[in-house]
Amino acid sequence: MKIGPTLIADTYAEAFRMRFARLCVTAIDPHWLDAALREFCGYGSSVIGCDAEVGVERMLAADDSPDGRPGALVMAFGFSGDALAKAVPNRVGQCVMTCATSAVFDALPGADDRFALGSHLRFFGDGYQKSKRHLDRRFWRVPVMDGEFVCEESFGVAKGVAGGNIIIQSRTQQGALDAARRAVEAVAPLPGTITPFPGGVVRSGSKVGAKYAGMVASTNQAFCPSLRGRLETQLAPEANCAYEIVINGQDEQAVAAAMQRAIHAAAGPGIPAISAGNYGGKLGKFHFHLRELLG
């Protein structure tokens, strides 16, 4: 199967179950909203080493946000609700509450599984904090030096899917970079998905395990062009550079739609093949077969 000159490999991406929280972050203007988002999403690429996988789902116009200010929906993925209950309050407390004019609201209000956030961060108010109920939802107002930090009391947790991916193979590094950017930009408008790695792109794609004790993951040597000729490769003969796009989503349908769009956007001249990473079905139960996605 080909899209133009690009071969779509007969393989699948292997994804797995994770939990996610969805937050709505707002601020007085786009500059301060961007500052809050950059801090909150930092060090959030992979749970191999980070406390959560975090990314902006989509931006919100002021008319669509809870407090009538510029906002954004952010998704944070972890292996469990307990993991998110630690990671998200730490990130909000250190990265959003500290950001000028920011506020945080729950964007999964109907979820039964919940963790404390505002009811935890309120203690920073040292007894001067106040609570308020609105539409059966409770908020905390914590006094800070530019007024009040508003944060919802608790946040919902839902089941999601993480690890959907495509691997773009290119003749040149610049061609791979251009294709990867096209793919990430194509996925960005889709609701319920994030691409958590830097710029949405992974250069150090990994496999499960390593020859060194204590390493849970290591370089995916089958896609490293510098190792071609020394080891079995999964690169096309013309490929000299590869980048991976990892996609997390709220459900299988969201991940599948994002992968499909990413493949179409990345394919083209200079891209001999698009493949995906899997671990023989041992890591996750969600298998996204590339050719079926395009069928």
CA 77 to chain centre: 7
pLDDT(261) > 90: yes
Q: What are the pLDDT digits (tens) for 99-111?
A: 999 999 999 999 9
269-290 pLDDT, tens per residue?
Answer: 999 999 999 988 888 999 999 9
* Residue 14 pLDDT grade (very low, low, confident, very high; cuts 50, 70, 90): very high
Mean pLDDT, rounded, for 78-103: 98
pLDDT at 100: 98
Q: Is 165 within 8 Å of 220 (Cβ atoms)? A: no
Is the pLDDT score of 88 beyond 90? Answer: yes
For range 14-40, the mean pLDDT: 98
Domains of the chain are: 2-15+162-294 (3.30.70.520), 18-157 (3.30.70.520)
Q: Is the pLDDT of residue 232 over 90?
A: yes
Mean pLDDT of 263-267: 98
pLDDT at 135: 80
Q: What mean pLDDT is predicted for residues 14-32? A: 98
Three-point CA angle 196, 39, 83, nearest 5°: 60
- The C-alpha atoms of residue 95 and residue 118 are separated, in whole angstroms, by 14
Span 70-74, average pLDDT: 98
Q: pLDDT tens across 173-187, in order?
A: 999 999 999 999 999
pLDDT confidence of residue 281: 85
Say yes or no to pLDDT of 241 above 90: yes
